[in-house]
Homo-oligomer: A and B are copies of this chain.
Amino acid sequence: MKKDALLSKAISHKNWIKKYADIRNHSVEICRPLEIEDYVVQPVVDVSPPKWHLGHTTWFFETFILQPNCPDYEVFDSQYNFVFNSYYETIGARVIRTDRGNLSRPSVSDVFKYREYVDQKMDEFLQSGSLTESLESLLELGLNHEQQHQELLLTDIKYILGHNPLFPAYKKDHSLQKKKAESPEMIRFSEGIYEIGFEGEGFCFDNELGRHKVYLNDFEICTQMVTNREYLEFIEAGGYQDFRHWHAEGWDWVRQNNVKSPLYWHFVDGKWMNYTLSGLQEIDREEAVCHISFFEASAFASWKGKRLPTEAEWEVASEHFEWGKRWEWTNSAYLAYPGYKKEAGAVGEYNGKFMINQMVLRGASVATPHGHSRNTYRNFFPTQLQWQFTGIRLAQ
C-alpha cells in the first residue's frame, strides 16, 4: 500500500478512534434522507445499492483488521463475506456485480446492525492499544476506502433517484456548494523536467507512488472549467452529430446509446432541464458542466480546437487554479508510474489490476468527502461512463 515510512506517525491512537468514528458516521449521514427502498436497487451495473456500500465498507474492517488480529472475534454473519466482497479474488466467492440489486436481504436494518457490531468491536480494538504500525497503515487504508465509497454512495444515490420517473429529490434544499465561474484564462508553462507523484507525510494510494521526473513540452492550461453555457454551444452546433470530433469508439457509443447531452439532462418543452439532488431544475449556464464521459470531454475539446491536459500537466499546474468541484478528465491512460510494485495479498488487488483501458481523472468533486483530496490523487474510469461528477478543463 505504502511504506510504513509514509505513515503519519503523529496521529495518536486517540486520534484514530475519533477519526474512525467520524468517517464511519459520515457514511450513515449521507444515507439519512433515503427511504428503505432506495437502499436496495441497482438500476445499472456500475451503480451499487446503498446498503451494499454500507455493508462492503464494514466488511473491509471485519475482514482485514478484526478477523486476523482479534483472536476472539466472531464474524457477524459468515455469509456476509459472500454478499459484501466486491472484487477481491483472494477472499472467497462473491455475488457477481449485476446481482447486487437482486438481493432484498440482508435487510437495511440488518446492515445497520452489522455496522454497529463492527464499529463496537473496532472501538474496543482501538481502545486496547493493539494498533501496530502496519495495522495503522491498514486502518488508514480502510478509512480512505470508506471515503471513496462515500463519494460513490452519493453518485449512486443520484443515479437511483435521477432515473426514477418520479424524479424524487434527495434533499429539497441540497446545495453542492455551487460557485459561479470567473472569466477563464490560459496559464503558460515552459518545457522542461518536472516532478510528479506523492511524497512526504500523510496517506496516499499506491498508484500515486513514487515521486518521479517527467519531461513536459510547452503547454497552456485553463484556469476555469468548461461551463454549461459553453457545452450547450457545442450541443447546438451539432457536436453530437459530427463524427470528426469523436474517437471511433466514442462515435459508436454516441450512436448506439443515442447520446445527446450530459447525463441527467432532459429536453422538456423546449428547455434543457437538469436532474439535481434537489430535483429537476433548469440548467444553470454558469455552472461547470457535469456528468460527461471521457468521449464527450475529448470531443468538446476537439470542437474547441483545444485538447485535454495530461495528468502530469494537470498536476504540475494544479497550484495555479482552483480545483475540486468536478473530477477532471485527462488524456492520460491509467498506467503504472515508474517503479510501481503491487503489494502482496488481497490489499494488493486494490489498484494495479485496473491499470488498463481506463483514463485518469484528476482533482476531486463536490461529492468527494472533506479531507479526501490531494493534487497527486489518481482517479480512473472507463471512457464511456457519465455517472461520476466529471467535468472538462482545456489545455493546448
Q: Which residues of A contact B (CB under 8 A)?
A: 35-43, 79, 82-83, 87, 89, 95, 99, 101-108, 160-161, 163-166, 168, 191, 193, 212-215, 217, 243-244, 246-251, 294-295, 298, 307, 331-333, 335-336, 338-339, 353-357, 359, 383
A89 touches B165 (CB 8 A): no
Total copies of the chain: 4
A353 touches B166 (CB 8 A): no
B243 touches A108 (CB 8 A): no
B104 touches A248 (CB 8 A): no
A247 to chain B, nearest CB (A): 5
A40 touches B43 (CB 8 A): no
A131 to chain B, nearest CB (A): 28
A43 touches B164 (CB 8 A): no
The 5 closest A-B pairs by CB, nearest first: A333-B333, A43-B102, A215-B215, A37-B104, A217-B338
A353 touches B248 (CB 8 A): yes
Known A101-B102, A164-B103: A108·B37 in contact at CB below 8 Å: yes
Note all chain B residues with C-beta closer than 8 A to A217: 212-213, 338-339
Sample of 19 further A-B pairs with CB below 8 A, known A40-B40, A40-B41, A333-B333 = A37-B40, A37-B108, A38-B104, A40-B104, A41-B101, A41-B103, A43-B99, A43-B102, A79-B165, A89-B243, A101-B101, A102-B160, A105-B164, A106-B166, A193-B193, A213-B215, A217-B338, A247-B355, A249-B357
Interface centre among A42, A163, A165, A249 (most CB of B within 10 A): A165
A393 to chain B, nearest CB (A): 17
CA–CA, A213 and B103, complex, Å = 50
Contact of A105 among B35, B107, B214 (CB under 8 A): B35
Known A36-B36, A107-B37, A193-B193: A95·B356 in contact at CB below 8 Å: no
Note all chain B residues with C-beta closer than 8 A to A104: 35, 37-41, 160-161, 164
Known A335-B331, A335-B333: A102·B215 in contact at CB below 8 Å: no
B36 touches A82 (CB 8 A): no
Contact of A249 among B37, B294, B339, B356 (CB under 8 A): B356
Contact of A39 among B37, B294, B339 (CB under 8 A): B37
Note all chain B residues with C-beta closer than 8 A to A42: 102
CA–CA, A336 and B333, complex, Å = 11
Note all chain B residues with C-beta closer than 8 A to A332: 335
Known A39-B37, A338-B217: A354·B248 in contact at CB below 8 Å: yes
CA–CA, A105 and B294, complex, Å = 31
CA–CA, A101 and B42, complex, Å = 8
A200 to chain B, nearest CB (A): 20
CA–CA, A40 and B332, complex, Å = 40
CA–CA, A39 and B193, complex, Å = 53
Contact of A82 among B95, B103, B161, B165 (CB under 8 A): B165
